[in-house]
Structure 1
């Protein structure tokens, strides 16, 4: 076994709060503009019908993000790095990278478009220029991460997360939803192909492939130096002279806090639409929803909604770009200059904005693309974290592996059902 130390064992261990952060950054991925569009559309079209989807998605996300963080802490490698070493065939590795890269680009489409729409709503900035500004800000945040390290980047992203939570949740307190209807929405069911499409979209926005890739890398960067090739024991030390076992215990709290915030905000968005926007014309778009909120709840609530959307776009596109860089480096072992890579990944979103494609529809469709990338990230994650040779004594317990396999199966079946419904025109 390998024991890594960065401080003498006698050094005073840091407080638990110091160990929190990676999950809160990864959790921003669960509050991106794609979530807003999917949940807002679901509430406006189907009322409380899909409340159960948000709840189940968040429960699955907790397990998945913990497994991702554990992988990074124990191995000192990200999921893309491990897969880059395990997938032997060059073309197989390139094929896996291609699907992961497409998923990362779909993520960027949602996040950049969301930021552009928010800037348009708040300041009247044309959508194309709003996309450029959103991309530029995300670039600045990535420079902070690369130059100043993980902690300052976490502080900025967590601050934006707080703005997101306030911006999206206030409306629910001003116009609360109907309690019995919320409870009825916890019963799993569909009504038509459209509800299945939105379910896939919500899950694609909730259990996000790039968040799985990113969380393992964020935990590695914070706690485990690169280059570890063997699993470590529970008493081994990581950055700050903290034992792996203690980091993993703190990680459970980190993930619980992050997904608690993200799940509550996502549910608030759906409930806000379900309680106030059904039957209102134009609420299937972010602009229409903003206008309806302004008319029904007042301009102050609508402004907070737009501010939350802007913070969502800025924070989530930074995390998405971080994940994309990790995917390329880990799977292809290639480093591309930050500016070049950012320009390439920004291109699809800017093209969509330039040609005038419906921004909200693009957001919803991007989340469906994400849902199809979930199995490619989730299945390897469950397999690797169940292996003794990968995680040693920290490998999954049998029930954890069963739960992870169940989540993967559920998502694969849902996507297959969606394909069948679309193909048959049901």
Structure 2
């Protein structure tokens, strides 16, 4: 089926459901609306999450599990509002910024978001390369080439319609989730401690706060916020307010399911690290390579292979999604578009340089995730402004509780970033 035919069928199926004409079962009616949040959720299980979650679990055990839960609840709110902006207005977040902010501010935002996209791509590309390196035993340079080729192949699926790409990305997320179910089964964590630290907020010194900010930066991703609004703007087009509300409700289900899976995967990463490394006194397992090598003697060869496979699929899927997000950012802010393959080549360069000069991939991953957290307010604040404006959103404008909750989330992120900046400048943390 061609891209055009696939998109028309999706539109027709969705329209039937929204108008109450579909006679299919509940889950069959859900299918036309599922997918966009799964693409966005890849950003929440990218290799940067592996790095921060493994280091957090090894050093502090289960202590920071609550940060993962809190971060993913924030993500559900933010991604839902991003989707709503695209559904209601037919424009994505970057386009709204270009149309409504002064030119100088748009330029500054664009440059900042491009830097964020580069930091994101660094994490994703490095993660996939390390996955190939661990699984196949090839040098990192060769692994980087394999990553580039595979990413191009995944992006090429877009010519067959976005449903094909959504299916592949969802399959990758499923592999990552299944991998960590296996890791948890092998690792046998202390579930009483898991439940306790999931709901009870705690820190253990300034380093744990730094890692908490890293978890936040690796979880709530600026480029995913911009991307999700773009994924929804032309996917299912309806203009009737009643149908828009129904479409939005279906998209909430998509977000909750996708982000819920991402939350469980992130939690499983940290739990695996805590149960396997921290419980045995191995507090300094801070790199992906160390985790892979250490898992085998502790839990058997299967566990290390499963870890490497999940890392590879995470890197490949998130690298593809990151390239799409970069394209949305460029097109939205500058009204300028370049071919995806050219964008992929340009964004690969920093990652290849990092690999060639011998920089520790995991340290680069952690730093990139911390840097990403600085870009979050510049995605969240415009999103809250636009979705809280009745002249833009009409009847689907954010309700007062949503506006208050959004303001609280934004404040938390800004406060954590200020603390991180202070720690890096004055304490060298």
TM-score normalised by L of structure 2 = 0.91
Deviation beyond 3 Å, 4+ runs, structure 1 = 6-14
38-47 or 181-190, larger mean C-alpha shift: 181-190
Matching residue of 1:39: 53
Matching residue of 1:319: 321
User: For residues 18 and 339 of structure 1, what CA distance do their matches in structure 2 show?
Assistant: 28
Q: Given the superposition, is the C-alpha separation of residues 29 and 371 from structure 1 closer, same or farther in structure 2, using an over 3 Å criterion?
A: same
Picking from 381, 399, 402, the partner of 2:401 is 399
Q: Given the superposition, is the C-alpha separation of residues 221 and 316 from structure 1 closer, same or farther in structure 2, using an over 3 Å criterion?
A: farther
Deviations 1:328-351 (A, max 9, x none): 000011112222221111111111
Deviation at residue 109 of structure 1 after TM alignment: 0.5
Matching residue of 2:148: 135
Matching residue of 2:43: 29
User: For residues 357 and 206 of structure 2, what CA distance do their matches in structure 1 show?
Assistant: 28
Q: Is the 8 A contact 2:58 2:284 kept in 1?
A: no
Deviations 1:131-182 (A, max 9, x none): 222122222222222x122111100100111111112231112222213322
Deviation at residue 303 of structure 1 after TM alignment: 0.7
73-82 or 169-178, larger mean C-alpha shift: 169-178
Deviation at residue 322 of structure 1 after TM alignment: 0.3
Matching residue of 1:54: 68
SS of the equivalent of 1:155 reads helix
118-127 or 136-145, larger mean C-alpha shift: 136-145
- Please show how residues 91-106 of structure 1 align to structure 2 within 5 Å: 91-106=104-119
Deviations 1:209-239 (A, max 9, x none): 01101111111242239xxxxxx4423xxxx
Tell me whether 1:266 sits opposite 2:266 in the alignment: yes
Matching residue of 1:160: 172
User: For residues 138 and 365 of structure 2, what CA distance do their matches in structure 1 show?
Assistant: 19
User: For residues 191 and 108 of structure 1, what CA distance do their matches in structure 2 show?
Assistant: 31
Deviation at residue 25 of structure 1 after TM alignment: 1.1
- Please show how residues 406-425 of structure 1 align to structure 2 within 5 Å: 406-425=408-427
User: For residues 355 and 125 of structure 2, what CA distance do their matches in structure 1 show?
Assistant: 10
Matching residue of 1:149: 161
Q: Given the superposition, is the C-alpha separation of residues 135 and 224 from structure 1 closer, same or farther in structure 2, using an over 3 Å criterion?
A: farther
User: For residues 193 and 221 of structure 1, what CA distance do their matches in structure 2 show?
Assistant: 45
User: For residues 155 and 388 of structure 2, what CA distance do their matches in structure 1 show?
Assistant: 32
Deviation at residue 282 of structure 1 after TM alignment: 5.6
User: For residues 126 and 56 of structure 1, what CA distance do their matches in structure 2 show?
Assistant: 38
Matching residue of 2:125: 112
- Higher helix fraction (1 or 2): 2
Tell me whether 1:199 sits opposite 2:212 in the alignment: yes
User: For residues 171 and 426 of structure 2, what CA distance do their matches in structure 1 show?
Assistant: 46
User: For residues 381 and 261 of structure 1, what CA distance do their matches in structure 2 show?
Assistant: 24
Deviation at residue 423 of structure 1 after TM alignment: 1.6
- Please show how residues 360-371 of structure 1 align to structure 2 within 5 Å: 360-371=362-373
Picking from 379, 382, 388, the partner of 1:380 is 382
Picking from 73, 81, 84, the partner of 1:67 is 81
User: For residues 209 and 285 of structure 1, what CA distance do their matches in structure 2 show?
Assistant: 24
User: For residues 411 and 65 of structure 1, what CA distance do their matches in structure 2 show?
Assistant: 16
Deviation at residue 127 of structure 1 after TM alignment: 1.1
Q: Is the 8 A contact 1:37 1:363 kept in 2?
A: yes
Q: Is the 8 A contact 1:213 1:377 kept in 2?
A: yes
Q: Given the superposition, is the C-alpha separation of residues 129 and 282 from structure 1 closer, same or farther in structure 2, using an over 3 Å criterion?
A: farther
Deviations 1:274-307 (A, max 9, x none): 1111232762110110111111111112111111
Deviations 1:12-44 (A, max 9, x none): 448221111100111111110001111011000
Deviation at residue 122 of structure 1 after TM alignment: 0.4
Q: Is the 8 A contact 2:324 2:340 kept in 1?
A: no
Tell me whether 1:86 sits opposite 2:138 in the alignment: no
Q: Given the superposition, is the C-alpha separation of residues 137 and 234 from structure 1 closer, same or farther in structure 2, using an over 3 Å criterion?
A: same
Q: Is the 8 A contact 1:150 1:218 kept in 2?
A: no
**Structure 2 gap ranges (5+):** 1-10, 23-27
User: For residues 342 and 39 of structure 2, what CA distance do their matches in structure 1 show?
Assistant: 24
Deviations 1:188-213 (A, max 9, x none): 23222221221111001110101101
Deviations 1:115-137 (A, max 9, x none): 01110110012112212221222
SS of the equivalent of 1:15 reads helix
Q: Is the 8 A contact 1:200 1:371 kept in 2?
A: yes
User: For residues 320 and 213 of structure 1, what CA distance do their matches in structure 2 show?
Assistant: 11
Q: Is the 8 A contact 1:72 1:224 kept in 2?
A: no
User: For residues 368 and 102 of structure 2, what CA distance do their matches in structure 1 show?
Assistant: 30
TM-score normalised by L of structure 1 = 0.92
Deviation at residue 49 of structure 1 after TM alignment: 1.4
